[in-house]
A and B are shown apart, each in its own frame.
Chain A
Amino acid sequence: MMGKLFPTQDIGSLPKAPWLLSFLRGKEITSSDFEHLRKWVRVSGFEEESQTLSLLAGPRTAEAKENVRKLASMFSVRFLESTGLDYVYDGEANRIEMYEHPVRNSDGFQFHGNVRSFDNKYYRKAACVGKVGFRKPYHLDEFLTVKQYARKGIKVPVTGPYTIAEWSFNEFYQKRLTPAYTDLRKLKHEAKREFVLDVAKEIIRPNLEALVEEGASWIQFDEPAVTTKPDEVPLFVEAFNESTAGIDCKFSVHICYSDYRVLYPHITDLRNCSQLALEFANRDGKKSLSYDQLDLLNEYDDHREIGLGVVDVHVDDVESPELIRDRILHATKILKDPQRIYVNPDCGLRTRTWDIAHAKLCSLVRGAEMARQLIA
């Protein structure tokens, strides 16, 4: 892969396979579930079809569920590889969701109920009710499965410490510090800092160490919350550095749907971060090429790689390879260095159908190839 221009990568999530959900939820495996499996076996060459069918037809023991989960991971790996991507993972096939998965598998959290995101949409929000702690390396099993099975490069997505803390209520740390503060604004700020840094030290770092110990060579921090409170960007930087210091691995950060100006200059202090993978296509429209915020990297002399978001994960329209090519070429003009550009979707594709996700990724790979031919 060394030297290849515009390597292509996934960002993380895919939709859950319908047969996996039916099996785990104790529902009947429908003909459409089977059809889904057969269809994508034909496309991806997934070799474990008969084993999967046999398990789906059998009793739903704990062992069978574990095996079906593992097969769902492998199925997603082949699905992603069949699009031609250079770097893949397993579509987060066995994570409940990017926030709930780490929180449910770590100590110190308790779910209190649902909170509105917008309109009639809600999400489950946990409170930190005790000192946070490491319970188990919650990504290790999936990583070992992917490592054994994948033919392409592997990048492991993990939810970053700032996002975990920002999306949780902070009871424990605020209560602990309450006697020391009369100013509640300062109290909240300092309690947040302790919370974020403890998530970094006590949860994320041991997870990273476990992954690297088993051979992970590239880990991506997903930090969608990082610009929610612009004055806390330095705290995100501190937490990232705390999590990764001294760990021998390539690290990158994925951020999306944000004004990236608020990241600078603070993120130039990220010490162990080789790449920023950012959403752009969503803000670009079909024709205009408004990847202007890439210029921030020039302005702040930031020479990291960029993971360039070239397909919008919130719409079903599949971007043409030509549009993707043009976006890559436009970014190349701004950054003036094609070697630094990786190509990816804006974000995880879990809200799209399998058909749309596949079509978008195939288009992305073709667009990158077209750009490569023009630049090489």
Chain B
Amino acid sequence: MEAHLTGIFPRSDQLVEATRAADRGKATQQDVDNAVHLDVRKLLDLQRTAGLDLLVDGQLNWQDLFRPFSELFFGIHPGRLARWFDNNTFYREPIVTDKVAFRGNGLRRYFQSQLVREQTGLKAILPGPFTFAVMSQNNAYQTLADLVDDLAHATKDTVAKLVSLGYRCVQFNDPQLCYKGSSQDAWVLARNAYDTCAKGAGAVTVLHTYFGDAGPVTGELLNFTVDYIGFDLYSTSLESVAQHDCDKGIGCGCVDGRNSLLESPEDIRSLISRVAEKLNPKDLFLCPNCDLEFLPYTVAEKKLQLLGSAKRLVSQQE
């Protein structure tokens, strides 16, 4: 049984202050980068101490899930602020102005693999191509399908580069898939996108869904060409998950990134048992349901530690 984080981690007070100082012209970009590196190192230590398996860098210099791709991809620019699903948090809507493609460089600025000693235990997190397309303002493509397809190819090229940098696992965060239900056509183009970006990736692949009820669409999700499907167990009604014999692993989003209430490891153990009963998966890993950036830093630290405790408790039972 493994456990790892799923997304953007909150910034420490020191890093927040560095970014504010830079915004006021009282600190340089180098000062901010130094503060980011300090935060990444601290987060890596926290994950090691908690006993997490795949380490993430916390995406601490990502302004939102899409922003780095304004630099990493051709054809994308950051636009207006828009609400991030049903949160009191906002992202800049990517504006697609031209054909999208991976530029081929610049990854090291946003994927801090150079700071990680363990070369075998790294997980990279990318926006899923479906969510990326739907949450963008498309000014360049005739159809959503065309945009999703090019985003999938750009993502595939990004994944290849990440694998060459030593990432063992690549996770695609695709909350839009389950947020309000998707049409049959949408499922087809999303599935095709994963055939492009995840099949033969040379790394373990995870499609993580959150903020929506994945229960009614579990069957659809299990058809995607990835190794694991991640479920937000605080948004998914387990009662609505049909009984499956699942040939994939399941990521159990069992620590709530949107509430400061600390779960008990025992409650998590019982939740995991219910998931295992319903889906009979090939494998399971524990994770937060979503990014922990919706929490204050000190609470996120506690949730991270809790994830490690829950993993040990669940592993004892196995």
Indicate the member of B234, B239, B296 with the most A CB atoms within 10 Å.
Answer: B296
A183 CA to B278 CA in the complex, in Å? 13
Indicate the member of A117, A178, A184 with the most B CB atoms within 10 Å.
Answer: A184
Q: Taking the complex as formed, is A116 at the interface, i.e. its CB lies under 8 A from any CB of chain B?
A: yes
Contact assessment for B89 and A117 in the assembled complex, using a CB-CB cutoff below 8 Å? yes
Contact assessment for B261 and A175 in the assembled complex, using a CB-CB cutoff below 8 Å? yes
A113 in contact with B234 given A120-B19, A174-B259 (CB within 8 Å): no
Q: Taking the complex as formed, is A27 at the interface, i.e. its CB lies under 8 A from any CB of chain B?
A: no
A118 CA to B78 CA in the complex, in Å? 13
Set of chain B residues within 8 Å of A60, measured between Cβ atoms: none
Set of chain B residues within 8 Å of A204, measured between Cβ atoms: none
Query: In which size bucket is the chain B interface?
Result: 35 or more
A17 CA to B213 CA in the complex, in Å? 47
Set of chain A residues within 8 Å of B295, measured between Cβ atoms: 112, 115
Chain B positions 51 through 83: 1 when the CB is less than 8 Å from some CB of chain A, otherwise 0? 000000000000110000000000000000101
Contact assessment for A116 and B238 in the assembled complex, using a CB-CB cutoff below 8 Å? no
A124 CA to B22 CA in the complex, in Å? 21
Contact assessment for A112 and B260 in the assembled complex, using a CB-CB cutoff below 8 Å? yes
Contact assessment for B20 and A120 in the assembled complex, using a CB-CB cutoff below 8 Å? yes
Set of chain A residues within 8 Å of B274, measured between Cβ atoms: 182
Set of chain A residues within 8 Å of B297, measured between Cβ atoms: 113-114
Selected from A120, A169, A183, the residue in CB contact (under 8 A) with B261 is: A169
- Name the CB-closest residue of A to B261: A171
Chain B positions 223 through 245: 1 when the CB is less than 8 Å from some CB of chain A, otherwise 0? 00000000001111111000000
Set of chain A residues within 8 Å of B298, measured between Cβ atoms: 112-113
Contact assessment for B238 and A228 in the assembled complex, using a CB-CB cutoff below 8 Å? no
Set of chain B residues within 8 Å of A228, measured between Cβ atoms: 83, 86-88
- Name the CB-closest residue of B to A167: B88
A172 CA to B159 CA in the complex, in Å? 42
Contact assessment for B237 and A186 in the assembled complex, using a CB-CB cutoff below 8 Å? yes
Contact assessment for B90 and A117 in the assembled complex, using a CB-CB cutoff below 8 Å? yes
Contact assessment for B64 and A118 in the assembled complex, using a CB-CB cutoff below 8 Å? yes
Selected from A116, A184, A186, the residue in CB contact (under 8 A) with B233 is: A184
Selected from A166, A188, A230, the residue in CB contact (under 8 A) with B88 is: A166
Q: Taking the complex as formed, is A152 at the interface, i.e. its CB lies under 8 A from any CB of chain B?
A: no
Q: Taking the complex as formed, is B271 at the interface, i.e. its CB lies under 8 A from any CB of chain A?
A: yes
Contact assessment for A225 and B213 in the assembled complex, using a CB-CB cutoff below 8 Å? no
Q: Taking the complex as formed, is A119 at the interface, i.e. its CB lies under 8 A from any CB of chain B?
A: yes
A230 CA to B259 CA in the complex, in Å? 19
Chain A positions 340 through 355: 1 when the CB is less than 8 Å from some CB of chain B, otherwise 0? 0000000000000000
A113 CA to B259 CA in the complex, in Å? 13
Q: Taking the complex as formed, is A185 at the interface, i.e. its CB lies under 8 A from any CB of chain B?
A: yes
A113 CA to B296 CA in the complex, in Å? 5
Selected from A114, A119, A122, A127, the residue in CB contact (under 8 A) with B260 is: A127
- Name the CB-closest residue of A to B88: A167
Set of chain B residues within 8 Å of A116, measured between Cβ atoms: 10-11, 89, 293
Set of chain A residues within 8 Å of B294, measured between Cβ atoms: 115
Q: Taking the complex as formed, is A101 at the interface, i.e. its CB lies under 8 A from any CB of chain B?
A: no
Contact assessment for A178 and B267 in the assembled complex, using a CB-CB cutoff below 8 Å? yes
Set of chain B residues within 8 Å of A83, measured between Cβ atoms: none
Chain A positions 170 through 181: 1 when the CB is less than 8 Å from some CB of chain B, otherwise 0? 110011001000
For residue B253, give the distance in angstroms from its CB to the closest CB of chain A. 10
* A-B pairs, 5 with minimum CB distance: A113-B296, A118-B90, A169-B260, A120-B19, A171-B261
